[in-house]
Structure 1
Amino acid sequence: MVRLTAPRVMMLLTAALLLTYGSVAAPAPAPRGGDGVPPDQLAKAEPGVVVTSGAPTTATAALAMPPRTAPELFPPAGKTFIGVMTAQGPYDFTAVDRFTTAAKRQPQVMLFSSGWATDRFDRTVFDRVRERGMLPMLGWEPWDYRVDTAARKKKISARRIDQIRSAQPAYRLSRIAGGDFDGYLRSWAEGIRSLGYPVAIRFAHEMNGDWYPWCELTNRNRPGDYVRAWRHVHDVFREAGATNVTWVWSANVRWSRSTPKLSAYYPGDAYVDWLGVTGYYGTGAFSAYRSFDAIFKKTIAEMRTLSRKPVVITETGASDATGRKAEWIRETFRVLPRYPDIIGLIWFEVNKELDWRIVSSAAASKAFAQAVAASRYHLTWSPDMVPRTEVGGG
Structure 2
Amino acid sequence: MMRLTMPRALMVLGGALLLTYAFAIAPTTSGGPESRRTDPVANVEPRVAAVAETSPSLRPAVELFPPADKAFIGVMTEKGPHDFAALDTFTAATEHQPQVMLFSSGWASDEFDRTLFDRIRGRGMLPMLGWEPWDYTVDQRAREKNGLLARQIDRIRSDQPDYRLSRITSGSFDPYLRSWAEGIKSLGYPVAIRFAHEMNGDWYPWCEKANGNRPGDYVKAWRHIHDLFRAAGATNVIWVWSPNARWDKSTGSLSQLYPGDDYVDWVGATGYYGSGVFTNYWSFDAIFGPTITEIGGFTSKPMVITETGASDAAGRKAEWIRQTFQTLPRHKNIIGLIWFEVDKELDWRVTSSPAVAAAFAQGVADPRYRFTWSPDMRPRLDVGHP
TM-score (norm 2): 0.86
Gaps spanning 5+ residues in structure 2: where?
A: 1-12, 23-45, 53-57
1:65 matched to 2:51? The reply is yes
Other-structure match for 2:77: 86
1:152 matched to 2:146? The reply is no
2: CA distance, partners of 1:263 / 1:87: 31
Matched letter for residue 74 of structure 2: G
In the TM superposition, residue 99 of structure 1 has moved relative to its aligned partner by 0.5
Whose helix proportion is higher, 1 or 2? 2
Q: Deviations over 1:157-214 (max 9, x none)?
A: 1110000000000000000011110000000000000000000000000000000000
Other-structure match for 2:31: none
In the TM superposition, residue 64 of structure 1 has moved relative to its aligned partner by 2.8
2: CA distance, partners of 1:234 / 1:64: 38
Other-structure match for 1:245: 237
Matched letter for residue 272 of structure 1: V
Residue of 289, 298, 307 corresponding to 1:315: 307
Residue of 107, 116, 129 corresponding to 1:138: 129
Residue of 359, 381, 384 corresponding to 1:389: 381
1:347 matched to 2:339? The reply is yes
Matched letter for residue 189 of structure 2: Y
Matched letter for residue 125 of structure 2: M
In the TM superposition, residue 379 of structure 1 has moved relative to its aligned partner by 0.8
Matched letter for residue 200 of structure 1: A
Matched letter for residue 318 of structure 2: A
Alignment of 1:127-206 (within 5 A): 127-155=118-146, 156-206=148-198
Other-structure match for 2:36: none
What SS does the corresponding residue of 2:102 show, helix, strand or coil? strand
1: CA distance, partners of 2:238 / 2:59: 24
In the TM superposition, residue 62 of structure 1 has moved relative to its aligned partner by 6.2
Alignment of 1:287-326 (within 5 A): 287-326=279-318
TM-score (norm 1): 0.84
Gaps spanning 5+ residues in structure 1: where?
A: 1-11, 22-59
Other-structure match for 2:94: 103
Alignment of 1:255-294 (within 5 A): 255-294=247-286
Other-structure match for 1:119: 110
Other-structure match for 2:200: 208
1: CA distance, partners of 2:50 / 2:250: 63
Q: Deviations over 1:233-288 (max 9, x none)?
A: 00000000000000000000010111111011000000000001000000100000
Q: Deviations over 1:128-161 (max 9, x none)?
A: 0000000000000000000000000003111100
What SS does the corresponding residue of 1:252 show, helix, strand or coil? coil
Matched letter for residue 327 of structure 2: V
1: CA distance, partners of 2:334 / 2:167: 34
In the TM superposition, residue 306 of structure 1 has moved relative to its aligned partner by 1.4
Matched letter for residue 112 of structure 1: F
2: CA distance, partners of 1:339 / 1:92: 33
1: CA distance, partners of 2:126 / 2:205: 28
Percent identity, aligned pairs only, is 70
Assess, with a 3 A threshold, how the Cα gap between structure 1 residues 333 and 233 changes in structure 2: closer, same or farther: same
What SS does the corresponding residue of 1:85 show, helix, strand or coil? strand
What SS does the corresponding residue of 1:136 show, helix, strand or coil? strand
Matched letter for residue 280 of structure 2: A
Other-structure match for 2:26: none
| Matched length | 342
1: CA distance, partners of 2:198 / 2:66: 24
In the TM superposition, residue 332 of structure 1 has moved relative to its aligned partner by 0.5
Assess, with a 3 A threshold, how the Cα gap between structure 1 residues 61 and 350 changes in structure 2: closer, same or farther: same
Alignment of 1:328-367 (within 5 A): 328-367=320-359
In the TM superposition, residue 70 of structure 1 has moved relative to its aligned partner by 2.2
